[in-house]
Amino acid sequence: MPGAERVLVLDLGAQYTLLIARRVRELGVYCEVLPGDAPAQTILSRKPQAIILSGGPSSVYAEDAPRPDPAVWEAGVPVLGICYGMQLMAHVLGGEVRRGERQEFGRAELEVLAADDGRPGRLFEGIGSPGARMTCWMSHGDLVRRPPPGFRTVARTPLSPVAAMEHGSRPWFGVQFHPEVAHTPFGSELLRHFLYDLAGLRGGWNMHAFVERAVDELRRQVTGGRAVVALSGGVDSSTAAVLAHRALGDRLTAIFVDHGLLRRGEPETVEREIGGRLGVPVTRVDARQRFLTKLAGVVDPEEKRRIIGREFIRVFEESARGVPDVRYLVQGTLYPDVVESGGGRTATIKSHHNVGGLPEQMQLTLVEPFRYLFKDEVRRVARELGLPDAIVHRHPFPGPGLAVRVVGEVTAEALETVRACDAIVQEEVERAGWAGEVWQAFAVWTGAWSVGVKGDARHYGPVIAVRCVQSDDGMTADWVRLPYEVLDRISHRITNEVPTVSRVVYDVSAKPPATIEWE
Ligand SMILES: Nc1ncnc2c1ncn2[C@@H]1O[C@H](COP(=O)(O)OP(=O)(O)OP(=O)(O)O)[C@@H](O)[C@H]1O
Ligand SMILES: O=c1[nH]c(=O)c2[nH+]cn([C@@H]3O[C@H](COP(=O)(O)O)[C@@H](O)[C@H]3O)c2[nH]1
Ligand SMILES: NC(=O)CC[C@H](N)C(=O)O
Ligand SMILES: [Mg+2]
């Protein structure tokens, strides 16, 4: 099958892991990112044809430095270490890594070196002859002083005596610079050379190949019994539903949970417009009372997320009992949900309800076909599967819904208010023609109260924030410079149509340091 190959990127905490994965996929090879401390069994079960070790902030000689499972070396596949990845390769295979006298950031001139026999190293074959000088991009403070036994140095820069190294006979390569960034002009070429010439891959992967392979994997995973797909109407779960339907046919039922934390009109839209267009039977479960009771009195954001994650699963389990022999739960989980929930070594930013918020004991086996993808890639899968534009371009809406847009306790008053304000934000952003430019636009119950004057009387009421952000994958975001007239209309309508609100503010924070949602 074309594109049946798979490359793994082990994430050792780099800022650019995402970019490495993306470059590999752009080069026509399917690629998955795994946490740097993934156990041997996980690494080997993915059957990779090559492994890339990412960069990272640690120093290899530090006590808590991330160190991938030795399976990496024993898997018998080509390995490319980038920056920290190369330093790690040097360190664990018997070379020497030290703090450099000077750090090397940004542009550097790389000189390709001749090996003992005067020929260029395999890594630079076809890219640069010995003596060639090329621009590369660096970001490190440590350096490899001495490559491990059996390795030779194949490039250097003025500050890095070992800027690239390779084993004399085994397919192990390391580069101190970053081939994945656009500032290394020959970087893509080097990655192509690694994948195609050194690792012998054949490529041919694209979204079409992804779909074929995902359908195949779903059929293998869901062996006996039936599956339910958790459908929110968002692009991830709608796409997961169509994909799973293609794989499992009538062994699949979709469950849409109305937890009382949805936007105005959403239950109806999902059931009628989205459910109807996916070709999958949708069961709507009314769990409003249940979620709101469980959330009463809870103010801690992580506690709220855990309660929601647990209730979601319990509702799926209970609804599944109505369908004979359900054993699997398909979810539209993406890689960023996993990363932010503290997958691997990254810090827990927030526990996404579908990952970090899951209960420990679950009766259904999770199936997550997009666990290694980013949102823009899922949108391409959606297009490949022929989903309508209205779904492909839908703004993301978090599973915990308005609960994470109400700071503090989720009360009926706060929910009703934020829902009414949200509807105004949606309408005005849409009407002004900005919806297509925007990743998400919404209102937040800030929990702050302020004094106003309405109808000549003092008015003490809640402060509502409006947030509107642009992003490609939700990992970073910037606030949208909406025209003042649009902001003015939103503010005017909110303070007039939602009488309790005393004040409207616009959130001008980027991510990082803020996150998109307030909780
Ligand atoms: N109300 C809901 N009912 C059923 N499943 C849900 C609901 N909300 C979220 N989920 C499940 O949780 C997963 C993660 O939610 P998330 O919001 O990240 O994805 P999405 O809703 O499918 O897409 P989007 O990110 O565009 O909103 C969904 O893919 C879906 O499987
Ligand atoms: O399904 C979800 N379950 C969650 O628990 C969750 N938390 C945040 N989000 C969405 O993820 C993106 C990044 O959000 P943050 O910048 O707030 O972390 C944004 O698009 C958020 O809307 C969630 N989606
Ligand atoms: N970007 C990196 O991978 C840096 C590696 C290591 N932390 C150093 O400073 O050298
Ligand atoms: Mg959603």
**Are 297 and 266 contained in the same domain?**
yes
Ligand 3, atom nearest to 16 Cα? 1
**CB of residue 56 inside a 6 A radius of ligand 3:** yes
Q: Whose CA is nearest to atom 26 of ligand 1?
A: 396
* Residue 287 to residue 308: CA distance in whole angstroms: 11
Residue-wise pLDDT for 91-150, tens only, equals 999 999 999 999 999 899 999 998 766 667 899 999 999 999 999 999 999 999 999 999
pLDDT at 221 over 70: yes
Quick check: is 32 catalytic? Answer: no
Q: How close is the Cα of 154 to the center of ligand 3, in Å? A: 20
CA dist 423 and 405 (Å) reads 14
83 is catalytic: yes
Beta-carbon contacts of 290 under 8 Å, excluding residues fewer than 6 positions away, are 259, 311, 315
pLDDT tens digits, one per residue of 245-268: 999 999 999 999 999 999 999 999
Classify each residue of 388-425 as buried b or exposed e, where b means 16 or more C-beta atoms within 10 Å of its C-beta: eeebbebebbbbbbbbbbbbeebeeebbebbbbbbbbb
The confidence band for 297, taking pLDDT boundaries of 50, 70 and 90, is very high
Boundary-marking domain end, from 198, 219, 235: 198
Residue 397 domain flag: no
* ipTM over the 0.85 cut-off: yes
Binding-site residues for ATP sit at 232-238
Q: Report the candidate in 363, 136, 108 with the shortest Cα–Cα distance to residue 228.
A: 363
Does ligand 1 lie within 6 Å of residue 232's CB atom? Answer: yes
Annotated catalytic residue: which of 5, 31, 83, 259? 83
Q: Summarize pLDDT for 71-83 with one digit per residue, the tens.
A: 999 889 999 999 9
Catalytic residue among 140, 167, 178, 245: 178
Same domain, 139 and 11: yes
State which of 440, 516, 518 you would mutate to test the pocket of ligand 2, scoring each by most atoms of that ligand within 8 A of its C-beta: 516
> Facing residues of 332 across strands?
none
**Tell me: the pLDDT tens digits for 170-195?**
999 999 999 998 889 999 999 999 99
Minimal-distance CA residue to ligand 1 atom 20:
234
Distance between CA 399 and CA 397 in Å, rounded?
7
Domain boundary among 139, 173, 198: 198
| 256 contacts 285 by C-beta, under 8 angstroms | yes
Q: Please report which confidence band the pLDDT of residue 2 belongs to, taking 50, 70 and 90 as the band edges.
A: very low
The verdict on 231 and 191 lying in the same domain is no
Radius of gyration (C-alpha) of the chain in whole angstroms: 26
How far does the centroid of ligand 1 lie from the alpha carbon of residue 235, in Å? 8
If asked whether residues 194 and 283 sit together in one domain, one would say no
Q: Which residues have C-beta within 8 Å of that of residue 319, sequence separation ≥ 6?
A: 228, 255, 283, 285
Is residue 426 within 8 A of residue 413, CB to CB? The reply is: no
Residue 216 falls within a domain, yes or no? yes
> Is residue 436 included in any domain, yes or no?
yes
Q: Are 201 and 195 in contact (CB under 8 A)?
A: yes
Residue carrying structure tokens 């076809």: 126
**Over 70: is that where the pLDDT of 283 sits?**
yes
Q: Could you tell me if residue 406 is inside a domain?
A: no
Q: Is the CB of 335 under 6 A from ligand 1?
A: no
Q: How far is the CA of 230 from the centre of ligand 1 (A)?
A: 7
Same domain, 445 and 362: no
Nearest CA to ligand 2 atom 12: 474
Rounded Cα distance, 112 and 431, in Å: 57
Catalytic: 167? no
State how far the Cα of 94 lies from the Cα of 259, in Å rounded to an integer: 56
Q: Last residue of some domain: 198, 230, 265?
A: 198
Half-sphere exposure for 434 (CA within 13 Å, toward CB): 22
**Cβ of 144 less than 6 Å from ligand 3:** no
Annotated binding site: 232-238
317 in any annotated domain: yes
What's the chain's average pLDDT? 93
Which residue has the least CA distance to atom 5 on ligand 3? 84
Which residues are placed with Cβ below 5 angstroms of ligand 4, an ion? 232, 234, 397
Model confidence band, residue 14 (pLDDT cutoffs 50, 70, 90): confident
Q: How far apart are CA 9 and CA 12, in angstroms?
A: 9
pLDDT of 228 higher than 90: yes
Count how many domains the chain has.
3
- pTM, rounded to two decimals: 0.82
Q: What is the CATH number of the domain that holds 119?
A: 3.40.50.880
Domain, as residue range, for 253: 207-392
